[in-house]
Amino acid sequence: MSNDVEHAKRALRAELRERRALLSEAQREAAANAIAARLDELVDATGARSISCFLSTTTEPGTRGFVDRAVRRGIRVLLPITRADGLLDWAVAGDGDDVIEGMFGLPEPTGEVLSPMAVNDVDLMIIPAAAVDRTGMRMGWGRGYFDKTLGSMEKCPPVYAVVYDSEILDSLPREVHDQPVTGVVTPTQTLLLSPTRR
């Protein structure tokens, strides 16, 4: 059974990667601007003063404009730093911080490194995803960093995945360790999917 699920996930991830690669620069920029506006609204609606987010890669729905604006608005933004042991360290985003290439070629901040426990203090988590289904189940890119993080938190704040509109699916293949999200943010909508994450 598990091999079938892994195979289905691998095939779906390949299809989603291919779709993202076909987007034009103009489409990516328009999506990033729309997502930034929706994330601003989400932060305001939740009253969050401390959040976690991620630095998007070139093919992911863009979050960098949102992160820059949030920092300038005085919101504390934690950005993930991948570790070899499968956990995430965190760094506080600063205005105009340098970005380096971390593990797996992912963009990562260069600020002071905080432990995996630092994320326990945020009011809202904004995380990447390959796709999310209508029950709130999230599928990542297969490394398990965010599933481990969410699964280890005693008191998890609202968690929103950022995806393109076509990546909200009716259902996803799932495994025991997969963690649901509260909602999803796309260029055209913010959806509450699973009000009680656990």
Q: pLDDT tens digit string along 120-167?
A: 999 999 999 999 999 999 999 878 899 999 998 988 999 999 999 999
CA 36-106-81 angle, 5° bins: 90
Question: Is residue 15 over pLDDT 80?
Answer: yes
The whole-angstrom separation of Cα 90 and Cα 95 is: 16
CB of 85 within 8 A of CB of 119? no
SS3 86: coil
Identify the CATH class of 2-192: alpha beta
- pTM for the structure as a whole: 0.92
Residue-wise pLDDT for 98-120, tens only, equals: 776 776 667 788 878 899 999 99
Domains of the chain, residue spans? 2-192
Return the structure tokens found at 188: 């055209």
